[in-house]
Amino acid sequence: MKILLTGKNGQIGWELQRTLAPLGEVLALGRDRLDLADIDALSSTVRALRPDVIVNAAAYTAVDRAQSEPVLAMKLNAEAPGVLAQETARSGALLVHISTDYVFDGRKASPYVEEDATHPINLYGVSKLAGEAAIREAGGRYVILRTSWIYASRGQNFLKTILRLAQERDELRVVDDQVGAPTWSRLVAEAIAQIIVQVRAPNPSVPETYHLTAAGETSWHGFAQEAIRQAAELCAFKPRACKITAIPSSEYPLPARRPLNSRLSSTRVGAVFGVRLPPWQAGLRMCVEDAVQSGKLLSVNT
């Protein structure tokens, strides 16, 4: 099996290079070799490589900057996935595409299921939803995986930011009215590998959209508290901040609005593929333990 992986340097893409390796030949490309903004080059590259599976982990993920760069966000998050889907439809390959909880407005009182009506409240969400639509319209074989609150021990993300700030400040003020499930990027990458094996089997599942997040829920404030507690317990992390204050979103204004409810029900992906991610606290512990064992402390900018 030949697998083309886009966005190899992203949080999920980095992990996918390892989890996809046992499945076959992995052609992992970053922006330096495959710029999704260059639509013509994107199409020609796919045709030249002739992959059996494309895993699209690349995206425009600067949520706030997307408000002022709508053209670029739409090109990377909507137009490029559409081209990948057209190429897989032409060749009979499979496209696995990573999407987001931001396709919803966050007003629902319970976790979102795949059939719920979408209504993004920021341009990033609009662009990702347009990408989903383009994939479906292409008529090829696809799996769309919506996930949320991704973190890792590398790159820029909430986990690393909060641990750094905890060593620099006496008090942290963290939003407490946005709820979701923090999800370790490696767990998503491992799940994607499991799904590909099953979809490529003799009796593959039909194209579908699935939700994939860690079990349980918390707020950003709750995530911050648990992250600092675990890091301090596991790796001699000494936070300076002794006070973590819960604040509403209104006290932390950003250019792009965020859904207050980012909870996604992962029931369908569990029923179809047997994929069930552990509670978010367990995933967080695995991430911190992995970072400690590898010598890459989360408290430093790596």
Does residue 48 surpass a pLDDT of 80? yes
Does residue 206 surpass a pLDDT of 70? no
Check: CB of residue 269 under 8 Å from CB of residue 143. no
Element (H, E) at 244: strand 243-247
Contacts of residue 169, Cβ cutoff 8 Å, sequence gap at least 6: 240, 241
Does residue 219 surpass a pLDDT of 60? yes
| pLDDT tens sequence across 56-114 | 999 999 999 999 999 999 999 999 999 999 999 999 999 999 999 999 999 999 999 99
Instruction: Give the Å distances, CA to CA, from 74 to 41, 124, 180.
Output: 17, 8, 25
Q: Which residue has the higher pLDDT, 151 or 35?
A: 151
Tokens standing for residue 20 = 């996809």
Element (H, E) at 231: helix 220-234
Contacts of residue 96, Cβ cutoff 8 Å, sequence gap at least 6: 53, 54, 55, 56, 142, 143, 145, 192, 195, 196
Q: Please identify, in words, the CATH class of the domain defined by 2-156+182-215+258-278.
A: alpha beta
pLDDT band at 299 (very low <50, low <70, confident <90, very high): very low
Does residue 148 surpass a pLDDT of 70? yes
Check: CB of residue 249 under 8 Å from CB of residue 258. yes
Look at the block and give the residue holding tokens 């989903």.
132
The dihedral region occupied by 224, where left means phi > 0, alpha psi between -120 and 50, and beta the remainder, is alpha
Tell me the average pLDDT of the chain.
92
d(CA 142, CA 160): 32
d(CA 112, CA 26): 33
Catalytic residues: 124
pLDDT band at 202 (very low <50, low <70, confident <90, very high): low
The pLDDT > 90 percentage for the chain reads 80
| pLDDT tens sequence across 163-199 | 889 888 889 999 999 999 999 999 999 999 999 999 8
The domains of the chain are located at: 2-156+182-215+258-278
Does residue 300 surpass a pLDDT of 50? no
